[in-house]
């Protein structure tokens, strides 16, 4: 047996290379504990279940919804061994899961954005009565999108509709929604309105529409916005910031 002698740094680099190959990204669910922010830049917390705990690290600018101890969350992360020999998850994205955790996080973010004036009625614009060109942010497979197309065709017919086909739930959904809104604002010409659509679902299904980046993208849209997410009883932060809110049919 050939003996391989490594320095500590070489060993850690080698272990991390193996982790990168085997687990470039992992999605893990658990409960948050020991949450803290250092130097207003770095976020540290543990994610745990009844039998085990994992340490987590992320940059504060990647945190798009408020997180507190006791919340149930889902993290998208890369496993690493730090130069101090500690195993840790480098978190790229985190989302609360479960109705209680989602509501608590949404309420905290709502208060923050209300204080900034993002939901003020004075900043809302009037939508055209008969739009000519409509940009749509939705999934082509979503029931809400199909209902929208039917209603538009029945009511007016012949309108030009530009769909940006995205996923409307899950940990990747917020980035896709933001990208679609930016695309329609920057690339599409002469849009009369941008419509963001997602049919009904559970609190977890609708969580992407209360993400801070999504809310700010809608607030910053140069084109007037209409948001139809969930049913009448489902109110996301995207609904509150849009120029106009409409529920989807049941």
The pLDDT tens digits of the residues spanning 124-163 come to: 999 988 888 999 999 998 888 888 888 888 888 778 899 9
Q: Strand pairing partners for 31?
A: 48, 72
Q: How far apart are the first and last CA of the chain?
A: 69
pLDDT digits (tens, 9 = 90+) for 21-54: 999 999 999 999 999 999 999 999 999 999 999 9
Full DSSP string of 37-51 = EETTTEEEEEEE-SS
Listed residue (75, 70, 89) closest to 31, CA to CA: 70
Token pair, residue 166, equals 């995205």
Return the domain boundaries, the chain: 8-97, 128-245
Q: Are 169 and 138 in contact (CB under 8 A)?
A: no
CATH for 128-245, options being 3.40.50.300, 3.40.50.620, 3.40.50.280, 2.50.20.10: 3.40.50.280
- Tally Cβ neighbours within 10 Å of residue 23: 11
Please report the pLDDT score of residue 54 as a whole number. Answer: 95
pLDDT digits (tens, 9 = 90+) for 215-228: 999 999 999 999 98
- The beta strands (E) that lie in the chain are given as 26-38, 42-48, 53-59, 72-81, 87-96, 133-138, 160-165, 193-198, 225-229, 244-245
User: At residue 189, does pLDDT exceed 80?
Assistant: no
Please report the pLDDT score of residue 244 as a whole number. Answer: 94
Strand order in 244-245's β-sheet?
Answer: 160-165, 133-138, 193-198, 225-229, 244-245
Rounded to whole angstroms, how far apart are CA atoms 71 and 57?
Answer: 16
Please report the pLDDT score of residue 166 as a whole number. Answer: 95
Token pair, residue 143, equals 């029931």
Rounded to whole angstroms, how far apart are CA atoms 121 and 219?
Answer: 12
The SS3 assignment for 187 reads coil
* CATH no., domain 8-97: 2.40.50.140
Rounded to whole angstroms, how far apart are CA atoms 84 and 69?
Answer: 25
Sign of dihedral through CA atoms 185, 244, 230, 136?
negative
Rg of the chain over all Cα atoms, to the nearest angstrom: 21
Listed residue (183, 198, 189, 194) closest to 229, CA to CA: 198
pTM: 0.84
């Amino acid at each position: 047996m050939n003996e391989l002698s490594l320095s500590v740094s070489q060993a850690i680099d080698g272990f991390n290379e193996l982790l990168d190959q085997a687990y470039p990204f992992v999605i893990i669910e658990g409960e948050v504990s020991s949450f803290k922010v250092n130097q207003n830049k770095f976020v540290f917390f543990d994610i745990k279940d009844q039998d085990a705990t994992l340490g987590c690290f992320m940059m504060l600018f990647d945190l798009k919804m408020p997180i507190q101890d006791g919340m149930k969350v889902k993290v998208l992360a890369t496993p690493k061994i730090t130069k101090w020999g500690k195993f840790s998850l480098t978190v790229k994205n985190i989302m609360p899961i479960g109705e209680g955790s989602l509501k608590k996080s949404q309420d905290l973010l709502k208060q923050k954005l209300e204080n900034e004036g993002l939901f003020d009625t004075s900043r809302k614009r009037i939508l055209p009565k008969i739009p000519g060109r409509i940009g749509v942010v939705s999934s082509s497979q979503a029931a809400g999108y199909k209902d929208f197309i039917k209603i538009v065709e029945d009511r007016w017919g012949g309108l030009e509709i530009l769909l940006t086909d995205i996923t409307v739930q899950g940990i990747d959904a917020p980035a896709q929604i933001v990208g679609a809104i930016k695309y329609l604002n920057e690339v599409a010409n002469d849009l009369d309105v941008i419509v963001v659509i997602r049919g009904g679902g559970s609190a977890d299904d609708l969580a992407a529409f209360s993400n801070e980046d999504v809310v700010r993208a809608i607030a910053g849209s140069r084109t007037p916005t209409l948001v139809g997410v969930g049913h009448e009883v489902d109110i996301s932060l995207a609904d509150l910031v849009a120029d106009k809110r409409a529920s989807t049919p049941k």
